[in-house]
Amino acid sequence: MQKHLFLGVEAIGQGAIDGGMSGVYAYPGTPSTEITEFIQDHPLAEERNIHRKWSANEKTAFETALGMSYAGKRAMSCMKHVGLNVAADAFINAAMTGVNGGLVLTVADDPSMHSSQNEQDSRFYGKFAMVPILEPSSQQEAYDMAREGFALSELTKVPVMLRITTRLAHSRAGVECSDVLDENQLSMPADPRQFILLPAIARRKYKGLLQSQDLFLKLSEESKYNRYEEGEDKSLGIVACGIAYNYLMEHYPNGTCPFPVLKISQYPLPEKLIKRLNQECDELLVLEEGAPMVEESLKGFFANGTPVKGRLDGTLPRDGELNPDLIAKALGKEFFQGYNIPEVVANRPPALCQGCGHQDAYVAMNEALADYTKGRVFSDIGCYTLGALPPYETIYSCVDMGASITMAKGAADAGLIPSVAMIGDSTFAHSGITGLLDAVNENSSITVVISDNESVSMTGGQDSSALGKIESICIGVGVDPAHIHTIVPLRKNHEEMVRLFRQEFAYEGVSVIIPRRECIQKMSRKKRNSK
């Protein structure tokens, strides 16, 4: 078998293709983006004509994948953790409808918030939906789980969640690939009412989902991904979930761990294995990336069983990602802690690129806003969120995709007039349009700045689904065309931009200003590639 050096995300892309997937549906989001990009560039995906174009957002992505599953084919939807908030309605209900072709939801969490606004743990969503969750500890498992996930979904008749975190997503290791499976043929669901969640049918479906839990548990208990490893020293039993298993084993190479270890990579939690660990050991230590989900359930409300250590009792930090050092400390191991960082070292936060159009837009906005009290600009998720930092300090919010427009409207409703929204082209397409419709319907006094760099830039320059459509979308939603302006954000147009901003801030109604210039990174990538 050939060994490939794959990032975790690439391993998942390859696994999905090899598992007979007919379509991937996704919206870019770190650390999940490269799964879809890998599939987009893959020769077999081209040969098989696997669906691999970007969706407008995670909800449309997941629903489309569900539609493909309805028609009998295998589909994957990929997103970052906060993307699952957007797709949650579809995901939770897909557990009720069940699947026809195998359906895998790959969700990439970002503990420590390297590139995110929170560090929520998607396993809660899997548990909430009551579906099996796979959590690989290595790139090889990521490949295998992506490949086998469709069959598991078809066996359990529900969507399966594949949960990874940043470190596994963006770390490379050798992966051995297995045979490439055939795609499914088009086939209709056996029960024509399977996907109709009318209350009468939904009640029956829900009972079915509840009854399936026994099967999911049995599969977890028998899973090759969950493993009980014997240990002589029963003073401690260790539960190691996902990638935390590797951090643990870093300290015990070649099977030298003295304690019994329960490696968990498939949920629901394998009850029998947990009970065995509980019976054999004096104390338990839970190592899990993200929230203390397993720890909480082992500890119980009254904490009157075997003592459980982990993130809740301070043995490990309550927030942030794990690493080998935190686990060494939790195990009481001594190690050389390296040299201190000299005081001379300054922080180097990310910043807008030199020559980026967002910079010109912010400089002009600041000048036009100088006549007003501060705190009027609501922003959104993208590179332009860096406008919160010096030298701009223009924006006052960054909450979730699309919230700039709706929060500006709410603030205007409260009397903060004018209120301004700053949103990118792709974020506008993702979740800004409905908010704009709300504002139009009430003629709210807001100015929406759609800073259009013709790209999803923060994640690496993917095509925005609103490319070339922004003005027509705004007109279609009902914005007065007299108050839609497009300008090229360049220093030479500064005075004109300031004038436009001033004019529309003063207008009592919905206005849209579109500073449009291609992302500087995307432009230079294109130049390099065409050489």
Q: By CB under 8 A, name the binding residues for other proteins.
A: 5, 7, 30-31, 33-34, 114-115, 167-168, 170-174, 243, 246-250, 253, 323-325, 328, 335-342, 344-353, 383, 386, 390, 458-459
Output the smallest distance, CB 431 to other proteins, in A. Answer: 19
Q: Which is nearer to other proteins, 316 or 411 (CB)?
A: 316
Q: Which is nearer to other proteins, 244 or 273 (CB)?
A: 244
Distance, in Å, from the CA atom of 429 to the CA atom of 54, rounded to the nearest integer, reads 12
Q: How would you class 338 by CB atoms within 10 Å of its CB: exposed for 0-12, middle for 13-18, buried for 19 or more?
A: exposed
What are the tokens at 367? 């000048």
Output the smallest distance, CB 459 to other proteins, in A. Answer: 8
Output the smallest distance, CB 63 to other proteins, in A. Answer: 26
- Contact, 510 vs 443, CB < 8 A? yes
Q: Which is nearer to other proteins, 248 or 421 (CB)?
A: 248
- For helices 8-18 and 139-156, give the axis angle rounded to 10 degrees: 40
What's CA 405's distance to the chain center, in Å? 22
Output the smallest distance, CB 325 to other proteins, in A. Answer: 4
Output the smallest distance, CB 348 to other proteins, in A. Answer: 4
Q: Which is nearer to other proteins, 301 or 336 (CB)?
A: 336
Parallel/antiparallel/unpaired status of strands 511-515 and 446-451: parallel
Parallel/antiparallel/unpaired status of strands 133-134 and 266-267: antiparallel
Q: Which is nearer to other proteins, 201 or 353 (CB)?
A: 353
Compute how many other C-beta atoms are within 10 angstroms of the C-beta atom of residue 172.
Answer: 13
Q: Which is nearer to other proteins, 172 or 203 (CB)?
A: 172
Q: Which is nearer to other proteins, 166 or 406 (CB)?
A: 166
In total, the chain counts a number of residues equal to 531
Q: Which is nearer to other proteins, 192 or 349 (CB)?
A: 349
Output the smallest distance, CB 190 to other proteins, in A. Answer: 42
Q: Which is nearer to other proteins, 164 or 433 (CB)?
A: 164
Bridge partners of residue 162, in order along the sequence: 106, 134
Helix (H, G, I), strand (E, B) or coil at 77: strand
What are the tokens at 425? 């082209």
Side-chain half-sphere of 120: how many Cα atoms within 13 Å?
13
Output the smallest distance, CB 300 to other proteins, in A. Answer: 31
Cα angle value 161/192/99 (rounded, 5°): 10
- Contact, 458 vs 30, CB < 8 A? yes
Q: Which of 523, 512, 524 is nearest to 487 (CA)?
A: 512
Output the smallest distance, CB 504 to other proteins, in A. Answer: 29
Q: Which is nearer to other proteins, 225 or 505 (CB)?
A: 225
Distance, in Å, from the CA atom of 19 to the CA atom of 264, rounded to the nearest integer, reads 23
Q: Which of 364, 511, 499, 518 is nearest to 452 (CA)?
A: 518
Output the smallest distance, CB 249 to other proteins, in A. Answer: 4
The tokens 């029960």 sit on which residue?
191
Output the smallest distance, CB 519 to other proteins, in A. Answer: 11
